[in-house]
Amino acid sequence: MNLPPRPAEPGEFIPGDYFRRLSPHELFTTDSPLEIDLGCGDGTFVLEMARQFPDRNFLAVERLLGRVRRICKRASQAGLDNLRVLRLEARYTVEWLLPHASVSRLHLLFPDPWPKARHHRRRLVQGDFLHALRKALIPGGEFLFKTDHEDYFEWAREELALFGHFESLPWDEGSDELSFYPQTDFEAQWRAGGRAVHQLRMRNPST
Ligand SMILES: C[S@@+](CC[C@H](N)C(=O)[O-])C[C@H]1O[C@@H](n2cnc3c(N)ncnc32)[C@H](O)[C@@H]1O
């Protein structure tokens, strides 16, 4: 039985065809740099970024409908037309939907760490995802990753070293690129609880 399509929330992006890679202008009609917040949670980070950088476009990806609805509502109340929200699985989005060479920065902030060894294959930062990420990033595009989970952080570093196609950049909060980088909801919670936050920044080389 075919269910009728759910009407889109204001600012929500619902692909017309989930089995075809998007072309760049389907997401936004402007050519501004595109940033992705993958697994955006309650959207605190991406809403602040979209407000701060009206000359950039932001796509927030989140699988939970309630969160998608709340972010769309807040974006529309704030009049943010440079933010769209996609309700879809994170890995699928990067591997099959994002246009190649379209993303200037992809933020993966406090993703599920899948702590049990038998669940490690569910962790996002590994082989196939990294190959797809490289294709989605523009030359010089960046991957920014934060986690409170030390084991996942070490795992991510090893996977990135094995992958070998990205170069490491310092996370320099004094730099122009990172001087405005709001804490996510999870980050605020972890820091308030005294937990360390681990972060890394990688670049897709230009050549
Ligand atoms: C631990 S929370 C972190 C949220 C946010 N990035 C932050 O730092 O506050 C992880 C978020 O990713 C979403 N998520 C988990 N797995 C996902 C997946 N496979 N695809 C899309 N979203 C996912 C969850 O629903 C949740 O909102």
Residue 151 · residue 185 · CB < 8 Å: no
Q: Nearest C-alpha to atom 23 of ligand 1 is from which residue?
A: 39
How many whole angstroms from 41 Cα to the centroid of ligand 1?
A: 5
Residues forming the active site = 112
Q: Nearest C-alpha to atom 10 of ligand 1 is from which residue?
A: 111
pLDDT at 6: 83
pLDDT at 180: 96
Token reading at 80: 């943010």
Token reading at 103: 């993303």
Alpha helical stretches, state H, 28-184: 44-52, 65-77, 90-92, 127-136, 150-163
Q: Nearest C-alpha to atom 13 of ligand 1 is from which residue?
A: 39
The residues lining ligand 1, judged by C-beta closer than 6 Å to any ligand atom, are: 39-41, 61-64, 67, 89-90, 109-112, 184-187
Q: Which residues of the chain have pLDDT under 70?
A: 1
How many whole angstroms from 152 Cα to the centroid of ligand 1?
A: 15
Q: Kindly report, residue by residue over 46-55, the tens digit of the pLDDT.
A: 999 999 999 9
Task: State pTM to two decimals.
Answer: 0.96
- Domains of the chain, by residue range, sit at 27-203
How many whole angstroms from 66 Cα to the centroid of ligand 1?
A: 12
Token reading at 30: 């402007």
CATH fold, domain 27-203, is: Rossmann fold (3.40.50)
State whether residue 57 is helix, strand or coil: strand
How many whole angstroms from 52 Cα to the centroid of ligand 1?
A: 22
How many whole angstroms from 16 Cα to the centroid of ligand 1?
A: 24
CA nearest 97: which of 22, 172, 166?
Answer: 22
- Distance in angstroms (rounded) separating the CA atoms of residues 47 and 66: 16
Atom of ligand 1 nearest to the CA of 41: 27
Residues 6 or more apart in contact with residue 48 via CB below 8 angstroms = 182
Q: Kindly report, residue by residue over 114-125, the tens digit of the pLDDT.
A: 999 999 999 999
Residue 57 · residue 48 · CB < 8 Å: no
